[in-house]
Amino acid sequence: MPRDWKGGTASTFKTIGASNHCDHARADHDYYATEPAATQWLMRIEQFHGPILEPSCGEGHMARELEKGGYEVVSRDIVDRGYGEVADFLTPDNTRWDGDIITNPPYAFAQEFLEKAMSIIPEGHKVAMFLKLTFLEGKRRAAMFNKYPPRRVWVSHSRLKCAINGDFANMGGSVTAYAWFVWEKGFHGAPEIHWFN
Ligand X SMILES: C[S@@+](CC[C@H](N)C(=O)[O-])C[C@H]1O[C@@H](n2cnc3c(N)ncnc32)[C@H](O)[C@@H]1O
Residues near ligand X (CB under 6 A) are 4-5, 29-34, 55-58, 61-62, 77-79, 88-90, 103-106
Sheet with 178-184, edge to edge strand ranges:
85-86, 73-77, 52-54, 100-103, 126-132, 178-184, 152-156, 192-196
What is the nearest approach in angstroms of ligand X to the Cβ of residue 58?
3
The CA–CA distances, whole Å, from 149 to 19, 52, 156, 186 equal 37, 21, 19, 10
Q: What is the Cβ-side half-sphere exposure of residue 171, based on CA atoms within 13 angstroms?
A: 17
Please state the φ and ψ torsions of residue 102, each to the nearest 5 degrees: -135, 130
Q: How far is the CB of 147 from ligand X (least distance, A)?
A: 21
Q: How far is the CB of 175 from ligand X (least distance, A)?
A: 16
Q: How far is the CB of 194 from ligand X (least distance, A)?
A: 21
User: Quick one: 132 or 141, whose CB is closer to ligand X?
Assistant: 132
C-alpha–C-alpha distance, residues 130 and 110, integer Å: 10
Nearer to ligand X, 168 or 187 (CB): 168
Q: Measured from the CB atom, is 10 or 153 closer to ligand X?
A: 10
Given a contact cutoff of 8 angstroms between Cβ atoms, the answer to whether 104 and 66 are in contact is no
- Calpha distance 61→94 (Å, rounded): 23
Closest distance to ligand X from the beta carbon of 138 (Å) = 18
Residue 52 or 90: which CB sits closer to ligand X? 90
- C-beta closer to ligand X: residue 4 or 184: 4
Report whether 36 contacts 64 (CB < 8 A): yes
